[in-house]
Structure 1
Amino acid sequence: MRVHPILNNNALIHHHHRNPTREPGKNLRRLPHIFNRVLELPLRSEADVAVEEKSDCFRFTAETDGLCDDGEMRAYMVEIHPGITKIVVRTNGSSLGLSLDELELDVWRFRLPESTRPELVTVDCVEGALIVMVPKIAEEEGGDFGQGMGSGRLVLVQ
């Protein structure tokens, strides 16, 4: 039995069926897309966070185990690359040693749509619950979402 090795490079080789004398072409693989806006909360990735989408904002609510009691929470907007923004929520004067530039793998993240305004994020701690509000760009009248009735959707992310 003969085993053929897998190509080490990330290239796809296409053979031309219509013209067999033509050399095979190479197309580089690309990421399907990159998310321009991401919200990162100081919780583990499996934390229960209630995500509510309204016509004017996204509201994220999570129970914290004493995280809000230590100090006031704050949202930092980090521009990773021009046009790519990450919103990081941390405590003021965080003694956890977490840097804003450091890559944390086990944190709760949410991909935000283009209609959000990350520069206007608000963070509150109410009775041990972390509440993060991410406003949206105002939609024009007559849009499909909610038909102006104020209907929102509640999405539970686990």
Structure 2
Amino acid sequence: MRRIVGAAPATAGGNPQNRPARRSTPQTAAHDQHEHPETESHQTPDQLLQDGGASLMHPDLNRGNMLIGNSQSVLVDWALPGQGAAWINLAFFAFFLMNEGWQPAQAERWVNRFRAWREADPCAIRTFITALTRRRSEQASSAPPLRRMERLRQESLALEWLQHCG
């Protein structure tokens, strides 16, 4: 089964209607961008996010899911594994770095060490960031107060990253 990274559906406790919320994924953002293009590309929005999509994805990078030792690091909590373009893992990691206090330019310099990032279509990266921004906004609207503050801060970080990308 091919699955491009996306957010987990809402749980019954987080959704007053007890049904899944509309998911904001890179694909839906790509579709929205196709309807309202900000930049031109020779690929369809789906192609932008699926190009080279054979890499294992871990879309939930956070402190609790990274075990970092002196000689080895391990990612844990593989509840939402997926398959997609390698640069998407790097985009999630860049956002993780920003969430830890790095500026967008610093995080991008770090991920730029990897060929997958350097070769990624800039339009696809903007599409990803747009989807991430929308997802954090949706999560904030239904989250409890402390989680809402965190999601709003992350939405602000994603908007800052989007502005940095131009």
TM value normalised by structure 2: 0.23
Comparing both structures, which one devotes a greater share of its residues to strand?
Answer: 1
State which structure, 1 or 2, has the greater radius of gyration over its C-alpha atoms.
1
TM value normalised by structure 1: 0.24
Comparing both structures, which one devotes a greater share of its residues to helix?
Answer: 2
